[in-house]
Amino acid sequence: MNIDLSSYIQCSYEEAVEQVKRPRLLQHVIAPLVSFIPVAPKHFPPVWSQGIYLVNLKLLGFIPFGNQDIVISYPDVGSGFALRDNGRSALIQKWDHMITILQTSDGVLYRDTVAVSAGLLTPVIWLYAYFFYRHRQARWRRLAASRFAYPLR
């Protein structure tokens, strides 16, 4: 099942690209719905590089939900920027998430496209993912409005 959500974000194209490459942004925009605890490597890099990152998932920050591979690549999309996480876990066979960023006259168009496959659980996982990505985009917009002033932890 697929999800396709977009938001206009008030920031420069360069800043949006710089921010989306940061694991810190991911950790911020998914909170408090999910936490990713790095397993291998033991720490996230300051900037995503192409490769596989094994994480432990915790729903709501404390409910164990197993491990997942975050599989980062930077596909060429022509006139914009893209970051792809073609992830998977024991429960979710396919979590193929593409972020694209396109410059607009007054900011950027940020787009999440996601293909989810989890066998019989696919409709439930899809519903969760739909609300999860709406939450992420709302957090993105608020963070951009604050000029990416991340809260102290």
Tens of pLDDT along 94-112? Answer: 999 999 999 999 999 999 9
The answer as to whether 17 is a domain residue is yes
CATH value at residue 8: 3.30.530.20
pTM above 0.85, yes or no: yes
Tens of pLDDT along 16-74? Answer: 999 999 999 999 999 999 999 999 999 999 999 999 999 999 999 899 999 999 999 99
> 63 near 75, Cβ under 8 Å?
no
The answer as to whether 152 is a domain residue is no
The answer as to whether 71 is a domain residue is yes
Examine the pLDDT at 150 and tell me if it is beyond 90: no
Residue owning tokens 């989890």: 118
pLDDT band at 151 (very low <50, low <70, confident <90, very high): confident
Query: Which residue segment(s) compose the domain that 108 sits in?
Result: 2-145
Whether the CA torsion 28, 29, 32, 33 is positive or negative: it is: negative
The answer as to whether 153 is a domain residue is no
Examine the pLDDT at 152 and tell me if it is beyond 80: no
Q: How far is CA 61 from the centre of its chain?
A: 16
The answer as to whether 82 is a domain residue is yes
Q: Using CA atoms, how far apart are residues 147 and 97, in angstroms rounded to an integer?
A: 25
How many structural domains is the chain composed of? 1
Q: Using CA atoms, how far apart are residues 134 and 127, in angstroms rounded to an integer?
A: 11
